[in-house]
Amino acid sequence: GQNIDQPTEMTATEGAIVQINCTYQTSGFNGLFWYQQHAGEAPTFLSYNVLDGLEEKGRFSSFLSRSKGYSYLLLKELQMKDSASYLCAVRSDSNYQLIWGAGTKLIIKP
């Protein structure tokens, strides 16, 4: 079967760094996406990894290891507005659909 696992909830402090992990088991692999979703709103695109390694984009970075079926999203200099759910999604080979994790709810405390 196809499965994506993320922690359900994480808590971090404003100004700190947090790492959100995602592990996946899919029938193939053709890219991994991270999206941010505020409560009641649509997901917004954060990052895309298809090759192993780290992709940095401002305060957000995403890492991928295809051999381990593992990715993480790193958020630096946390701000209160970063409180949201973070969704990991995988596109498997020859499929157009994305397979989604249930999301990690990130709570930022002052």
Partner 1 sequence: DAGVTQSPTHLIKTRGQQVTLRCSPKSGHDTVSWYQQALGQGPQFIFQYYEEEERQRGNFPDRFSGHQFPNYSSELNVNALLLGDSALYLCASSHSTGQETQYFGPGTRLLVL
Closest distance to partner 1 from the beta carbon of 90 (Å): 11
CA 89 distance to own-chain centroid:
7
Instruction: Tell me if 41 contacts partner 1 by CB under 8 A.
Output: yes
Closest distance to partner 1 from the beta carbon of 12 (Å): 20
Question: Judged by CB under 8 A, which of 1, 51, 96, 110 binds partner 1?
Answer: 96
Question: Judged by CB under 8 A, which of 89, 90, 106, 108 binds partner 1?
Answer: 89
Q: In a 3-state reduction of DSSP, which class is residue 2?
A: coil
Amino acid at 12: A
Is residue 4 within 8 Å of 99, Cβ to Cβ? yes
